[in-house]
A and B are shown apart, each in its own frame.
Chain A
Amino acid sequence: MKKTIILTLLCIVSSMSMRAADYQYLVFTMNNGSTLAVTATDLTISFANDNLIATSGNETLATLPLATLASMEFSNDNGITAINVVSADGAVLDVNSIITDANTAIYDMQGRMMPQGSALPKGTYIVKNNNRTIKVNIR
């Protein structure tokens, strides 16, 4: 009896462990091959004015022109080595230019604003530039 119980529990736990853990990101790939990862947790996507708008709670994570989107995919790898952001008019903006833009504010995940012009260590950041807010991963 005891053996049966243990075996059953092992089977259940085993089956649980076989379940894939939640993906951390939903990664968008643009037509030009660039990618953008947003957190998958509590993610909501809506469509307005030919844009895909990704939000989490009250926070807008990305606003992406539909015409520039090629695909999206769940992933645990943010896959971002260089970040490009596509503007509303379809122009691809270099992330470095955004980060160095005087109008850009960068926050870490604890909500602390990062010093302007400083080198960003590895991690996830919220980048606010004009009316645009994106989540970026630096690694």
Chain B
Amino acid sequence: MKKIFSTIVAILTIAAATTAQTLNVTTSGATYQFPATQTGKMTFADGSTTTIMGRTFNVSDITTMFIDNSNVSDNEVNITYNGTGALVFVAGNIAQYVDVTVSGAHVTITQSDAVTNDLINDGTLSEITYNLDGASEDGSLTLGGDAKCTVTLNGLTLTNPNGAPINITNGKRIAMSVKKGTENTLKDGTASTAKACLYCQGHLELKGKGVLNVYAYGSKAHGIKSGDYTEMKNCTVNILSATKDGISCNEYFLMESGELNISGVGDDGIQCDIDNDEGTPIAATDAAEGGHENEDTGNIYIIGGTFNANITAAACKGIKSEGDMIITDGTITVNTSGGGAWDADNAKAKAASCLGADGNTTISGGTLNLTSTGAGGKGINADGALTIDGGTTTIKTSGNAVVASSTGTLSVVTSSSQLDRYDSDYKSSPKGIKVDGAIIINDGIINVTTSGAGGEGIESKTSITFNGGQTYVSSSDDGINASYNTNTNGTGDLTVNGGYIYCISSGNDAMDSNGNFYVKGGVVYAVGTGNPEKSLDANTEQGKKLYISGGTLIAVGDLESGVSISNGTCKYTSSWTKNSWFALYNGGTLAAAFKTPATGSNTGGGGGPWGGGSSSLKLIVYTSSTPTLTSGVSVSSGTELCNSTLNIGGTVSGGSSVSLSNYTSGGGGPKW
């Protein structure tokens, strides 16, 4: 029954769509299609012109006029590329507003300035839609105008060897709809000097549920470039080659949904800049309602969808914002493999990063997988602050540090100790997270692994505060480092108010504060390299101090000398086994179960658990009451956190009690 019904509807619909009587006026550029029901009186003047629905034609420009049963949709222009030519059909009701010229398969359309956003918004006129399909190896569309419009890609394969296949000089809002079920491909050629393969002077809104492939081979070509903001939802966009950025835009970039895949680019994956000449961020006038009206911030928003980028260019970013970067949802996978580069203008060594923000970075949701393998490569690099409120962020860096000579000649160093010889502008170390501003972690899951020389896990040049979340860091240099410099005027304080932190360093302090270090809450599990590095380090040389006044602490390796311990008890043992589960009790209540590092204190020789060594690194514990330890326990149920190094709320069985000694500042162990 349903099938019969569908068939009847289809037949009737087809019948309805094919009965429109249409007067076609064909010129050298286009065929203007006037539904007979709309034409009214068509006038002639001076024996040389005819005016139909407001459009005046010179009869000398008319190739022919004919009447057929073409179906015409108001407000639409249809452009079909067919190899060396292009057919353009303009609906009669907008004929007076659309001028077309065609040369081969190069189509130039000018939308009259009489069409304005005001007239569209008040209903006087309707937005014009330009539908593109067909194929050409030597074609293009240049679209001018001064009012918002829609461009649909409905199965278009268009190559322009000498310019942009789509060049939209209309500076208003352009809705580009990639039609569902269609695959569309745009290519330019190496001879092109256009700014992009897909260029839009105004605001570009990518939508639809189809696929758009972009190959930008032009000498200056971004894959997609918009003069104003770019928004994207639903569609799949594949930037498969670009001489410069995959997507370059101004004002802001918003990814709402869909899939964006970027590879084969010579610069950043996505770059968003502030548009105004002063470079001053201008917030949206409706920002309080979550809108972006009149925004010019240089911000990048990712609130959904899937973003994948493989960036191989030196010192380039997967996503780069001149303003803030705000990630609330979506799946983001970025791999960078490019090495360092010398920035001659600023006399500075630069390196790649998966995310780079000149402003602040906020992550409140989504799944981020950020991998950087090149020299100096980073996961997140922000000039402003970093706030993490949610989501799962996994960062891996494996490159060594890159350094530069006084003349900017780059080289790679394989030992962290070599880096001290270089001024900060002449080196770039591979860090999981490097932020000039403050880092605040309120929630979320963060996993950071670094393995190269100078590979700090998380670094702020201002301060770091943990209020919640789960943070796992395994690093080759400092695991978590709060510092400061003359630019940031930060405190260099590191504060733990809450959350779960596991931090292990194979070559330096686990957690290092260049200011004061406060442990006030949460669960901190820190494993330092050992002599002379610390598990928890504060800047006592500058009169700063480590304060432990709350929470739960498990530390392998000594604490900073002069530590202040209050509101609880700190104990230690020098005898513990590697790769074993321990249960830490706080006055008889299980505080946490934890797994000791895979390399233990009594193995090997040299500098502790990572260097292998004869050192006897202490296992230090602190709880608000009296801590007790049971070793070799079995743990079931509960919640495993921080890459299964901690278990909270589990059931513990077996094991044997560990004898603990009181840990006091300067007396609990050697100070290096």
14 interchain pairs, CB-CB under 8 A: A1-B1, A16-B16, A19-B19, A40-B67, A46-B65, A47-B60, A47-B62, A71-B41, A71-B43, A72-B41, A73-B40, A73-B41, A73-B42, A74-B36
Contact B44 A71 (CB under 8 A): yes
* Residue A91 CB within 8 A of the other chain: no
Segment of B4-12, B112-120, B159-167, B187-195 in the binding face? B4-12
Q: Which chain B residues (77-136) contact chain A, with CB distance < 8 Å?
A: none
Sample of 9 further A-B pairs with CB below 8 A, known A45-B66, A74-B36: A12-B9, A16-B19, A19-B19, A20-B37, A22-B21, A22-B69, A44-B66, A71-B43, A73-B39
Cβ-based interface call for B294 (8 A): no
Residue in A19, A42, A45, A66 whose beta carbon sits within 8 Å of that of B47 in the complex: A66
Is the CB–CB distance between B39 and A42 below 8 Å?
no
| The 9 nearest A-B residue pairs measured at CB | A67-B47, A45-B65, A66-B47, A69-B44, A22-B21, A44-B66, A43-B67, A47-B59, A74-B36
Which residue from chain B places its CB closest to the CB of A56 in the assembled complex?
Answer: B67
Main secondary structure of the interface of B (DSSP, over half): mixed
Tell me the smallest distance from the CB of B523 to a CB of chain A, in Å: 61
Which residues in A have their C-beta under 8 angstroms from that of B60?
Answer: 47
Query: Are A19 and B20 closer than 8 Å at their CB atoms?
Result: yes
B487 contacts the other chain (CB 8 A) = no
Whether B12 pairs with A23 at a CB distance below 8 angstroms is no
Query: In the bound complex, do residue A50 and residue B65 qualify as a contact, i.e. CB atoms below 8 Å apart?
Result: no
Q: Bound state CA distance, A39 and B42, in angstroms?
A: 16
Contact A74 B39 (CB under 8 A): yes
CB distance from A89 to the nearest CB of B (A): 13
Tell yes or no: B64 within 8 A of A by CB. Answer: yes
Q: Is the CB of A5 closer than 8 A to any CB of chain B?
A: yes
Contact, CB under 8 Å: A72 / B42: yes
Cβ–Cβ < 8 Å partners of B36 in chain A: 20, 22-23, 40, 74
The answer on a CB contact under 8 Å between A13 and B42 is no
Q: Nearest A residue to B15 by beta-carbon distance? A: A16
Contact present for A44 and B64 (CB under 8 Å): yes
B70 to chain A, nearest CB (A): 12
Q: In whole Å, how far is B462's beta carbon from the nearest beta carbon of chain A?
A: 65
List residues of B (288-344) whose CB comes within 8 Å of A's CBs. none
Binding site for A on B (CB under 8 A): 1, 5, 8-9, 12-13, 15-16, 19-21, 23, 36-37, 39-44, 46-48, 59-60, 62, 64-69
Chain B residue nearest to A8 (CB atoms) is: B9
User: Within 8 Å CB of B19, what residues of A?
Assistant: 16, 19, 22
Residues of the B chain whose Cβ atoms lie less than 8 Å from the Cβ of A1: 1
Q: Which A residues between 49 and 105 are near B, CB-CB below 8 angstroms?
A: 50, 52, 65-67, 69-74
Bound-state Cα–Cα, A23 to B40, Å: 12
Could you tell me if B64 and A46 are in contact, using CB atoms closer than 8 angstroms?
yes
Asked if A66 and B43 sit within 8 Å, CB to CB, the answer is no
Chain B residues near A15 (CB-CB < 8 A):
16
A9 and B65: CB pair below 8 A? no
B66 x A70 contact (CB < 8 A): no
Query: In the docked arrangement, what's the CA distance between A74 and B66, Å?
Result: 13
**In contact, A26 and B9 (Cβ under 8 angstroms):** no
Query: Interface centre among B9, B37, B65, B66, by most A CB within 10 Å?
Result: B65
A41 partner residues in chain B, CB cutoff 8 A? 67
- Expressed in whole angstroms, the minimum distance between the Cβ of B546 and any Cβ of chain A is 74
Decide: A13 and B12 in contact? CB cutoff 8 A.
yes
Q: How many A-B residue pairs have CB under 8 A?
A: 78
Question: Of all chain A residues, which has the CB nearest B37?
Answer: A20
Task: Determine whether the beta carbon of B47 is less than 8 Å from that of A26.
Answer: no
User: In the bound complex, how far is the Cα of B20 from the Cα of A16, in angstroms?
Assistant: 11
B37 contact set on A, CB distance < 8 A: 20, 74
Given contacts A22-B36, A23-B21, A46-B64, contact A69 B16 (CB under 8 A): no
The residue in chain B whose Cβ has the minimal distance to the Cβ of A40 is B67
Q: How far is the CA of A45 from the CA of B46 in the complex (A)?
A: 18
CA of A42 to CA of B60 in the docked complex: distance in angstroms? Answer: 22
- A26 neighbours in B (Cβ, 8 Å): 67
Contacts of A46 in B (CB 8 A): 64-65
Bound complex: CA A16 to CA B14 (Å) = 11
Residues of B near A40 (CB, < 8 A) are 21, 36, 67
Say whether A70 contacts B40, CB under 8 Å.
no
User: Taking CB as reference atom, which chain B residue is nearest A48?
Assistant: B59
Whether B40 pairs with A66 at a CB distance below 8 angstroms is no
Contact B8 A44 (CB under 8 A): no
User: In the bound complex, how far is the Cα of B72 from the Cα of A19, in angstroms?
Assistant: 13
Contacts of A73 in B (CB 8 A): 39-42
Closest to B35 in A: A20
Q: Is the CB of A16 within 8 A of B41?
A: no
A12: min CB distance to chain B, Å: 5
- Per-residue interface assignment for chain A, residues 28 to 44, with 1 indicating a CB less than 8 Å from any chain B CB and 0 otherwise: 00000000000011111
Min CB–CB distance B301 → chain A (angstroms): 42
Contacts of A23 in B (CB 8 A): 21, 36
Measured between beta carbons, the chain A residues less than 8 angstroms from B64 are: 44-46
Pairwise interchain contact B43-A65, C-beta atoms closer than 8 A:
no
How far in angstroms is the closest Cβ of chain A from B647?
57
A40 to B24, CA, bound (A): 12
> Which chain B residues border A42 with CB–CB below 8 Å?
67-68
Chain A residues closer than 8 Å to B66, beta-carbon distance: 43-45
Instruction: Give the residue of A9, A16, A66, A74 whose beta carbon is less than 8 angstroms from that of B44.
Output: A66
| Nearest CB on A from B414, distance (A) | 74
Please, how many angstroms separate the alpha-carbon atoms of A18 and B47 in the complex?
A: 37
A42 to B9 CA separation, bound complex (whole angstroms): 29
- Collect the chain A residues with CB atoms within 8 Å of residue B21's CB: 22-23, 40, 74
Give, as a whole number of angstroms, the nearest-CB distance from B224 to chain A.
40
Query: Contacts of B48 on A, CB cut-off 8 Å?
Result: 66
Q: How far is the CA of A84 from the CA of B106 in the complex (A)?
A: 47
Q: How far is the CA of A72 from the CA of B69 in the complex (A)?
A: 19
* Option from A9, A43, A45 in Cβ contact (under 8 Å) with B12: A9
Chain B residue nearest in CB terms to A15:
B16
CB pair A50–B47 under 8 Å, yes or no, is yes
A66 to B47: give the CA distance in the assembly, Å.
4
State A3–B306 Cα separation when bound (angstroms).
Answer: 44
What residues on A are CB-neighbors of B13 within 8 Å?
12
Contact: B59 with A12, CB < 8 Å? no
Q: How far is the CB of B147 from chain A (nearest CB, A)?
A: 30
Contact B16 A19 (CB under 8 A): yes
Q: Which residue of A lies closest to B66 (CB)?
A: A44
Q: Contact at A65–B42, with CB atoms within 8 Å?
A: no
What chain A residues lie within 8 Å of B8 (beta carbons)? 9
